[in-house]
Chains A and B, each alone.
Chain A
Amino acid sequence: MSEETIDTLKPGVADQDGSPNAPVSSATQSGSSPAQRAWRRFKKNHPALLSAWYLALLLIVIVAWPVALKIIPATGPHGSAWAKAYAPEELSDAQFQSPSPQHWFGTDEHGRDVLSRVLYGAQISLLVGFVGASVSLVIGVLWGSIAGLAGGRTDSVMMRIVDVLYSLPSIIFVVVLITTLGQKLKQMPFVRHSPGIEHELRLMILFVGLGAISWLTMARIVRGQVLSLRTRQFVDASRTLGASPVRILFRHIIPNVFGVVIVYLTLTVPSIVLYESFLSFLGLGVQPPMASWGSLISEGVDQINPIRVYWWMIVFPGGVLVSTLLALNFLGDGLRDAWDVKGS
């Protein structure tokens, strides 16, 4: 099962044996701080810079659009009608309209404005991606750091657990998680009281599920990093000075690992977003009538046929997804190149 697993990070750069190739931000040179040097390097990387701008713009639009749709109706009936035409879940009679000045991205089978759905879908997809990646980040970093620092028996046991989980086909776990928690959710009392919460909770399950299957590689990498870091002098110095392991963890290890980790975060998000689109293809993603890029694309895929193509149904959601994923990758690459002190 190929795309059905999340391959988040490339092993090998800082692999499980803690090979000496692990890039480490070093503070050995005098003069401008590593952060400043990294920033300068980053600015020279045009694709990365462009991507950063694109993502920032996207973020602004994604946040502003729903707000606009909420505020504008307050300006009167004209505004209300306008907001109604562009509400992402409001059906209309204008089925399958091709792109026009009224509907830049056209409309879909139910007469809904595709641009609006793409923007709302962006919220979901990016949220899923970032929160999922963050979940994997938190679990992975903690797990890997603790294993790496503790060493010995604890390390062994913790990494064995990672081995076992790694050998499970993730789709089984995802299906079980989504179906089981989805059901249990209904029965929880607080869901009955505040019904709106259920959507959010269902999304949360999605994030947690996706994050939970991608933390493994993160843990391995972080452990590798930690293993190579702990032999370094400043850690020894700390220990000699009597710092507790927790303190060492938070003050020394994690900030040093941070750089690598942030980079991999931006590279994990695309992976998770793609996996969400696969789940939508299976019918396990976000619930209708909510949209995510994945669900929009799996609806649009039907348009790839030899009879009649309503091209805007696949080109726009697909195009936005692909450009955003490209941008995230360029950004991640750029960050990694900038942080990597080994030279140009």
Chain B
Amino acid sequence: MHRDPPADVTIINFSEPQSLDPAIISAQPDMRIVSGMFEGLTRSDPKTGSAVPGLADHWDISADGRIYTFHLRTNLVWSTGEPLRAADVVYSWIRTLDPDTASDYAGQLFYVKNAEAFNAGKLKDASQVGVRALDPFTVQVELNHPTVFFLELCAMPMASVVPRQAIEKLGDNWIKAKPLPVSGPYQLAFWRVNDKVRLQKNPRYWDAANTQSKIIDLLPIVSASSALNLYERGQVDIVWDKELVPTELLDVLLKRPDFHTFNYLGTYFIRFNVTRKPFDDVRVRKALAMAIDKKRIVERITHGGEIPTSHFVPDGTAHYTSPEGLGYNPELARKLLAEAGFPGGKNFPRMEYMFNAAAGGGKIHEKIAIELQQMWRDNLGVDIELRQLEMQVYLSEQDALHYDISRSSWIGDYNDANTFLAMFVTNDGNNRTGWSNSHYDDLVQQANETTDAARREKLFQDAETILVRDEVPILPLFFYSGINYFDTNKIQGIYNNVVDLHPLQCIRKVRNSKPEIRNSEQ
């Protein structure tokens, strides 16, 4: 048992971090912690989530939008005192792209020239990659084509600056370095497995004057009821992860001022395995899509103010308005199914809807699955079986296309339509449907190569139309609602934005304030 001195702010962060190495993490809870420890050329604005100067205090962009020249601040030091220079930035990016690092998010740096070839092992010379240090305070990046969201990518963990001095000394165990050099607002006080991560203010951070809290604790709790209980008793200050919300109680809880929902760039959708009969027939897919009343699911099951949707890219995505997809139309659905050879659902082969279970965690996927099953049965006469799998099995089955229909979700990495549409390009690792449409691929590629914002939007809209209206390899259900809870009188510095990014250094607890009155205590 450890009796630690109290933290300034205690946050329930959902799962135990798989790692704190910025290059290899891929889960959101891990990213929230890592962003507090390691910073990149840019960082996230707490109110909007968009990129603002971080380690670089200004930059120039060439006329064709392909060359970025970042000017680092001149006073940067690691938390351990060594100077932080442009060479460290280049080192970090190359490390992320290095195939031996096995970074899951390296793909987000593929907009950089030669990055993809280097990562695939085809290019061995790292100096050919389009990121170089022109001088100790200048980093120049050359992109393949103009990339609107590139600055936001620079704020993500895989582009943050990691300590070469520790990595060269300790290799894979560099996180255990004591002290661990960090480039961000917080250093790692300690990390107790499955217990807590404690962060402590880094006084050598360039913006340390504005770091609001000295000590922040992040707890790895996966049970929504435990999280709620801890919060109600005042043992924690903030609970922020959409998985930690007890959905059955939301209709009561959302009436309280300390529960907040906000628009969020995340979509809950269904994948069809188009390589398997009968899902190779677009009419079957459309029929199943039009037989689902998404409003019903959102009202009866999720309760979080989620937005039922027919398109895939969430509302509120910057520079973009989505086209409409297929709505709820059981009549038309039945007609299509009959045309495809299964009138009234007769002879429809036995198919399974696959979803993942969470040991001790929430059952939301199961509940949605049950509703979907009923709707397909009532509206189409089609009997879809349910198949619940453990997470790793679910992921590998999905990856290997060993499924019929699968529950899915996608959270945007940055505020742009590309993060949602690029994944369905042919053979993209995140496609996982077996669907391929060369016209779609072209549209997405052209959209990424143009600088004309209006044309870009149009290209994406055409692509999305193919995705959600014409070919329907996926069935979007609803957009996630960001949900978190904390007492706004006590906790300041958290602004709810669509990318759900809340920089740790802005969060502070106001002492001696009156807590909000919650209905349950009256």
Residues on A lying within 8 angstroms of B by beta carbon are 90-91, 95, 109-110, 175, 179, 183, 195, 198, 281-284, 287-289, 299, 301-308, 310
Q: In the complex the two chains form, what is the Cα distance from A91 to B388 in whole Å?
A: 19
Write the B349-383 contact mask toward A (1 if CB under 8 angstroms, else 0).
01000000111100100110111011000000000
Tell me if A's interface is mostly helix, strand, loop or mixed. Answer: loop
Tell me which residues across on chain A come within 8 A of B248, comparing CB atoms.
109, 302-303, 310
Do the beta carbons of A91 and B370 come within 8 Å of each other?
yes
User: Which listed segment binds A: B4-12, B56-64, B225-233, B308-316?
Assistant: B225-233
Q: In the complex the two chains form, what is the Cα distance from A302 to B366 in whole Å?
A: 14
- Point out the residue from B246, B358, B369, B389 that lies within 8 Å of A288, measured CB to CB: B369
Q: Which residues of B (222-275) have their CB < 8 Å from a CB of A?
A: 225, 228-229, 232, 246, 248-249, 252-253
Do the beta carbons of B388 and A307 come within 8 Å of each other?
no
Tell me which residues across on chain A come within 8 A of B390, comparing CB atoms.
175, 179, 283-284
Q: Nearest chain A CB to B140's CB is how many angstroms away?
A: 50
Given contacts A95-B300, A109-B301, A288 and B225 within 8 Å (CB-CB): no
Tell me which residues across on chain A come within 8 A of B370, comparing CB atoms.
91, 110, 288-289
Tell me which residues across on chain B come within 8 A of A110, comparing CB atoms.
300, 367, 370-371, 374
Q: Judge whether B387 is part of the interface by a CB distance below 8 angstroms.
A: yes
Query: 9 tightest A-B contacts by CB?
Result: A283-B357, A195-B350, A91-B374, A282-B359, A307-B249, A288-B366, A288-B386, A289-B370, A308-B252
Tell me which residues across on chain B come within 8 A of A308, comparing CB atoms.
249, 252
Tell me which residues across on chain B come within 8 A of A179, comparing CB atoms.
389-390, 393
Tell me which residues across on chain A come within 8 A of B520, comparing CB atoms.
306-307
Tell me which residues across on chain B come within 8 A of A90, comparing CB atoms.
374
Q: In the complex the two chains form, what is the Cα distance from A97 to B518 in whole Å?
A: 26
Interface pairs (18), CB distance under 8 Å: A90-B374, A109-B301, A183-B393, A282-B357, A283-B358, A283-B390, A288-B370, A289-B373, A299-B363, A302-B246, A305-B246, A306-B520, A307-B228, A307-B249, A307-B252, A307-B253, A307-B520, A308-B249
Do the beta carbons of A306 and B369 come within 8 Å of each other?
no
Q: In the complex the two chains form, what is the Cα distance from A179 to B396 in whole Å?
A: 13
Given contacts A110-B367, A287-B388, A307-B249, A282 and B360 within 8 Å (CB-CB): yes
Q: In the complex the two chains form, what is the Cα distance from A195 to B347 in whole Å?
A: 13
Tell me which residues across on chain B come within 8 A of A299, comparing CB atoms.
363
Do the beta carbons of B360 and A281 come within 8 Å of each other?
yes
Do the beta carbons of A109 and B367 come within 8 Å of each other?
yes
Interface centre among A109, A283, A284, A302 (most CB of B within 10 A): A283
Do the beta carbons of A289 and B367 come within 8 Å of each other?
no
Q: Nearest chain B CB to A189's CB is how many angstroms away?
A: 14
Q: In the complex the two chains form, what is the Cα distance from A301 to B369 in whole Å?
A: 20
Q: In the complex the two chains form, what is the Cα distance from A289 to B252 in whole Å?
A: 27
Q: In the complex the two chains form, what is the Cα distance from A127 to B285 in whole Å?
A: 38
Q: 15 more A-B contacts (CB under 8 A) besides A305-B229, A308-B252?
A: A179-B393, A183-B393, A195-B385, A282-B357, A282-B359, A287-B386, A288-B369, A288-B386, A289-B386, A302-B363, A303-B248, A305-B228, A306-B232, A307-B246, A310-B248
- Point out the residue from A183, A198, A289, A306 that lies within 8 Å of B229, measured CB to CB: A306
Tell me which residues across on chain A come within 8 A of B228, comparing CB atoms.
305-307
Q: In the complex the two chains form, what is the Cα distance from A288 to B358 in whole Å?
A: 14
Tell me which residues across on chain A come within 8 A of B360, comparing CB atoms.
281-282
